[in-house]
Amino acid sequence: MQAEHLTKEDITYFKKRLLDMKEEAEAHIETDNNQDDELASVNNHPADLGTEQFEQQREAGFNLMRKEEITEIDDALQRIEDGTYGISEKSGKPIPKERLEVLPTASILVEEASDTE
């Protein structure tokens, strides 16, 4: 089922946005990992260890969110390949372009999202 409300240009545009989003998320993870390595090699005063542990836990949480975002991006890219991007996985109805602009990884309609919350 092809998303007839989206043109080839729209699909190309959203694919590029998704790839850019994925690249940015992967770069953040890589940067955070490099910073963790740098922090691990620095001898800190014992009083600083609590702050360092807090920062590491916070970054681990952000990295988990970024990995989940990458999974959602990969799913959206797969829907593009399958020809189902822009079609709700729940109802089969077209997802408005405006929603995809705000959330390119959207796989359901706004009203369907509120049904599951």
Q: What is the pLDDT of residue 117?
A: 42
Q: Are 80 and 15 in contact (CB under 8 A)?
A: yes
What are the boundaries of each domain within the chain?
Answer: 8-116
Taking only the tens of pLDDT, the chain with its 117 residues reads 556 789 999 999 999 999 999 999 999 888 866 665 555 555 566 666 677 777 778 888 888 899 999 999 999 999 999 999 999 999 999 999 999 999 999 999 999 987 554
Q: What is the pLDDT of residue 54?
A: 79
The single-letter code of the amino acid at 102 is: V
Name 74's Cβ contacts closer than 8 Å, sequence gap at least 6: 22
Report the C-alpha gap between 104 and 117 in whole angstroms. Answer: 20
Could you give the dihedral angle defined by the CA atoms of residues 78, 81, 85 and 89, in that order, rounded to the nearest 10 degrees? -50
Please tell me the pTM assigned to this model: 0.76
Which CATH code of 3.40.50.1370, 1.20.120.910, 3.40.190.80, 3.30.2350.10 fits the domain covering 8-116?
Answer: 1.20.120.910
